[in-house]
Structure 1
Amino acid sequence: MIPFLERLDRASKVLVSGCGGGFDVFVGVPLAQHLTTQGKQVVFASLSFTNLWLCGGERVGETVWRVDQRAAEIPYFPEKWLSEWLGRREQLVPTYAFAKSGVRPLAAAYRSIIDRHDIDTVVLVDGGTDSLVFGDEPGVGSAVEDAISLVAADQAAGERVLLAAIGFGVDHYHGVSHHAFLENTARLIRDGGFLGMFSLSQGSKEADAFLDLVDYANQRQPQHPSIVCNSIASALRGEFGNYHATNRTSGNELFINPLMTQYWTFQSSAVVRRMVYASRLAETDRAEDVRRIIDLHREASELRPFRPIPL
């Protein structure tokens, strides 16, 4: 049995939250589908890149809005597309959007949702693998948002927080070292923080739901389709190599591959303990402060060299 799935089996009310913001919450949909078929209650949340002050949703906290199908028509609004898609399937799942902030406001937002819905387990979901960044990697992708979410959720719920990352290889487009990701995973295995890995399998109800959601979002937001979600969807459909589902990646070499459909899972607190600047991030109020701390740390530190995977 996979430890991550054992933890979900023991859960009853689960918050599935996008770790890196934007479309990340979409990669939690297969997990949510699995949970709901088992009779679990699920709530969605997302660190949002949308201007939530204009979203038309119900403001339920200082930096938290509840989003449903009636939210405003904004060009970039993954949380609304998710709510619409759930409504089309008659799945009335509460969906929340967190305004971009530093760790302290986001931790307070997590606490409010956890208390409101009596959540016993939080699953942070990452499209890609740049959530597993300790601070000395040669490339960190879009690590600011992931770091904010990891530290904030840890502040709010500690050992009740799990991390699931899917899309191995997609962050190559953003300069992430997958050698470093595997090295970090090995460190977490030694720490006891690795909770196993498993496939999102073609033809399963969970995979079909994800593909349908990605197709729906592409229709709703044709000018800015998700690179990560479309890459994972391409891998699920059996595409391979330099395959481009969207012209947003034109001019770049992609490596669509079957490993993109694997969930890599971790105890979130173990990741935070390895994050060298986590204690400094915990005191931040703005995302800009987090970026500054990470940038200053990397400028003053010896980084690991970029190494290819020797396969």
Structure 2
Amino acid sequence: MAARYSGRRQGRAVWVVSSPVAGEDSGMDLFTSPLMERLAPARHVLIAGGGGGFDVFSGLPLYFRLHELGKTVTLANLSFTQLSQVQGTWPVPGVLQVEASTEGPEHYFPEGWLSRWFARRGEQRMPRAPSIVSLSVVSALEGDYGDIHRTERTRGSTLWINPLMSMYWAFDLMAVARRCLYLEALKDTTTQAQMHLIIEAFRAARPVRPWKDIPV
């Protein structure tokens, strides 16, 4: 299947999708990508939301596909939840186990919501705190483009909804680490605060390229 951009119409990006003709290479999709090839021999896969909040939700398509392939998949998340208000167990320091029965803050607890969704298949909704990331991805999938808002949480800000939001980007972690100029300084850190101080000191000692808007 192929897609080409054909312009914008009333705040909506128009993408024309076509199917390959007989004998034509159908290209690559989520299930035949190099990422899935790398994961093929794995028996247990960890999918972690590294940006906090609802980020782990974006890994659900991978979660279900890997389950279909017979793999054990564990979901994890860098949490913005007030964990002191969560009635859960800590199997190891820094890791809180969340299940469908785990009680936590009513207004914001994405990990609990997701666990209950798996148990009840989406009968409950997160009150007053819809996911900005998830709603932006949905907007992109539906063809929205530009400053499109689906929740009051983004009012007053400028969004750039675009097709890139609906794509998975995969990186080789070891290759990225080799290019990290402050990796050695991070080796002895034990907390997020310590990492933050080292990164800020690194940035302060070097010129940072100015922000530039994407020219579209």
Q: TM-score, normalised by structure 1?
A: 0.55
**Given the alignment, which residue of 138, 143, 166 partners 1:261?**
166
Q: Name the structure 2 match of 1:235.
A: 140
Q: Name the structure 2 match of 1:98.
A: none
- Cα distance in 2 for partners of 1:234, 1:310 equals 21
Q: Name the structure 1 match of 2:77.
A: 46
Identity %: 43
SS of 2:168 mapped into structure 1: strand
**Given the alignment, which residue of 132, 138, 157 partners 1:252?**
157
1:97-136 alignment runs, 5 A limit: none
Q: 1:73 to 1:308 in 2, by over 3 A?
A: closer
Amino acid at match of 1:230: L
Shift of 1:296: 1.4
Q: Name the structure 1 match of 2:89.
A: 58
Q: Name the structure 1 match of 2:183.
A: 278
Q: 1:295 to 1:83 in 2, by over 3 A?
A: same
- Cα distance in 2 for partners of 1:241, 1:20 equals 22
Over aligned residue pairs, what C-alpha RMSD do you find?
Answer: 1.9
Shift of 1:310: 4.8
Q: 1:30 to 1:258 in 2, by over 3 A?
A: same
Does residue 289 of structure 1 match 2:191? Answer: no
Amino acid at match of 1:16: I
Shift of 1:235: 1.0
Unaligned runs of 5+ in 2: 1-31
Shift of 1:267: 0.8
Q: Name the structure 1 match of 2:11.
A: none
- Cα distance in 1 for partners of 2:171, 2:127 equals 32
Q: Deviations over 1:206-260 (max 9, x none)?
A: xxxxxxx7xx78x3132x3222221111111222211101111112221111221
Q: Name the structure 2 match of 1:80.
A: 112
- Cα distance in 1 for partners of 2:43, 2:92 equals 24
Q: Name the structure 2 match of 1:306.
A: 211
1:99-248 alignment runs, 5 A limit: 219-222=125-128, 224-248=129-153
Shift of 1:10: 2.1
Larger radius of gyration between Structure 1 and Structure 2: 2
Amino acid at match of 1:77: F
Amino acid at match of 1:266: F
Structure of greater relative contact order (alpha carbons < 8 Å, 6+ residues apart): 1
Does residue 71 of structure 1 match 2:102? Answer: yes
Amino acid at match of 1:36: H
SS of 1:76 mapped into structure 2: coil
Aligned length: 184
**Given the alignment, which residue of 9, 18, 21 partners 2:40?**
9
Unaligned runs of 5+ in 1: 90-212
Shift of 1:60: 0.8
- Cα distance in 1 for partners of 2:58, 2:150 equals 17
- Cα distance in 1 for partners of 2:158, 2:189 equals 36
Higher helix share: 1
- Cα distance in 2 for partners of 1:27, 1:49 equals 16
Would you say the 8 A contact 2:110–2:126 is kept in 1?
Answer: no
Amino acid at match of 1:46: N
- Cα distance in 1 for partners of 2:215, 2:159 equals 18
